Amino acid sequence: MRTVEWDNGGVKMIDQRSLPWTLEFARLETAEAVAESIQNMTVRGAPAIGAAAAFGMALAARNSPADSIEQLIRDLRLSAETLKAARPTAVNLAWAVDKLLAIATSGEFKRVDDLRDVLLTAAQQIADEDVAINSRMGRHGARLIDEGATILHHCNTGSLATVDYGTALGVVRAAFEQGKGIHVLLDETRPRLQGSRLSAWELDQQGISYDIIPDTAAGYYMSKGEIDIVLVGADRVAANGDFANKIGTYQLAIMAAAHAIPFYTVAPTSTIDLSLCSGAEIPIEERAPDEVTTPYGNPIVPPHFKARNPAFDITPHRYLSGIVTENGIARPPFDTNLRRAVAGDQL
C-alpha cells in the first residue's frame, strides 16, 4: 500500500490526519488540491510530498486547457509556484516540481498531449524510484544496528513519510527483517504527535517492538544507558551536513553527543541541497499556533494564550555520526562526501 499514487486521472493518498484511529484515503484532482493537502498535512514527510507534488504537476498539465506548448508551460509555472509555496523547508518538494518543469521547458516537445504523457511518466518514475531508494538506504543503515539494540526515533520517517518503506524507520524495518531483535523508543513529537500517532501505528502494523515516550524523556533514557543509537530523518541537508528536521531534533543531537550515543540522519540524495553552504540558509516553516494550543481541535489552554510553532529546527553537522543515503553512509568531512553521494559514488 503506497502513501501516495496516481489513480485513474487523480492522486490518491492516505489521509494521515485520521491515523491511527481510521485508515482513510483522499483523492485529489487538481494541482491546487494537492498543494492544500501538502500544506494541511494530509500528506507529509519530505519524500512523500515530493512525489505528491510531482503528481500535482502531472495533474496541472492534464487539467490545463492549453493547446500550445508555450501556454502549457505558462500554466505549469503557475502551478509550480503554488505547489512549492505549500511547505518551504522540505527540499524534495521543490526538487520534484523543478524536475518536471525542466522536462516541460526542455524544448523537446511540439505536441501538448505528448508533454502531458511524459510528465505523468516522470512523476510515476519519481514515486517508483523513491521505493527503491528507501530499500537501499534501509540495507545500508541496518549495518549500524546491533543485535538487540534499542533505537530512539523522532517524528515519523516510515512508509507514511515516503511513497513506501521509509527512511530512518526504513532502517529500523530492514534491521527487523534481518531478525536483529530490536526495540524502538518513539518520541511523541509534539505538537502534531507524528511519533505517537504515525510511527507507533506503522511499527504496530509491522510487529516491531516499541514504546512511546514523552518528548521530554529522551535524556532520562539516555542517562540510564537504555539507548544505543538515535535515528532521525531530514527535510533538507545543506552542503556542510547541517540539516533541518522536525522540531526537537536539535536537542536530541546535543543530548546524544553528551552521552556518546551515535546519532544518524537517514535521507535520500534528493534531500541534499548543495546550493546551501550551511543550515543557516534553510528556511524554517512557522505553522499556526493553534496546533500547539488546540491540538486536533482540542483546546488545552484558554484561547487568548499565546504560542509559537516552528515546524523544524537545524542540527549542526558536528553532532552527526553520519548521514545514511541510498549510495552508502556519508561521514565527515561532509562537504566532500555529500557531493560524492549526490554524484552517485558508492560510499
How far apart CA 283 and CA 20 sit, in angstroms, is 30
Indicate the residue type of 57. Answer: M
* Secondary structure element (H or E) that encloses residue 37, with its range: helix 31-39
How far apart CA 136 and CA 7 sit, in angstroms, is 26
Contact 96, 127 (CB under 8 A): no
Contact 9, 122 (CB under 8 A): no
Axis crossing angle, helix 46-63 with helix 31-39, rounded to the nearest 10: 160
Position of cell 543550515? 279
SS3 313: strand
- Which of 208, 204, 232 shows the shortest CA–CA distance to 218? 232
Active-site position among 130, 215, 235, 242: 235
- Which of 144, 168, 143 shows the shortest CA–CA distance to 47? 168
Q: What is the 3-state secondary structure (H, E, C) of 229-267?
A: EEEECCCEEECCCCEEEECCHHHHHHHHHHCCCCEEEEC
- Annotated active-site residue 146? The verdict is no
Asked, as a colleague might, if the bond just before 191 is cis with ω within 30 of 0, I would say yes
Distances (CA, A) of 50 to 26, 86, 212: 17, 11, 28
How far apart CA 202 and CA 48 sit, in angstroms, is 15
Q: Which residues pair with 315 in a beta bridge?
A: 243
Residues belonging to the active site: 235
